[in-house]
Amino acid sequence: MTNRKKNSIEIKSELESEIFAAVNTILNINQKYQKGILKESFFQRSIKSAKNDLLQLNFSLNKHHIILSKLLNHMNFTEDYYKAIDIINKTFVCSV
């Protein structure tokens, strides 16, 4: 295996881990907020931060020519990703 190929695999693995972490953060924070464990201000700040993380990850995916949908399918994570996106959308549409 060449160094370039190894680096590509490492980059892909790192991006997978970061996507997994950001999405699970959103899902967990939303669950705690729905249960009344978190205050709205903390919830909104946390969702905004995770949204920014996902945005940066999308830039990294583009930089490395990785297609998000293929990566999510490979991870078997498409459904959770779109649940997180739905939470982001609902959070910021309701707060406007």
Reported as a single tens digit per residue, the pLDDT across 1-44 is 455 565 888 999 999 999 999 999 999 999 999 999 999 999 99
Q: Into how many domains does the chain fold? A: 1
Residues 18, 53: Cα–Cα separation, whole Å: 8
Question: How many CB atoms neighbour CB 11 within 10 A?
Answer: 15
pTM over 0.75: yes
Q: Which residues of 14-51 are buried (b: 16+ CB within 10 A; e: fewer)?
A: ebbeebeebbebbbebbeebeeeebeeeebbebbeebb
Determine the pLDDT at residue 94: 60
Which residue segment(s) compose the domain that 80 sits in?
A: 3-94
Contacting residues for 89 by C-beta, under 8 A, at least 6 apart: none
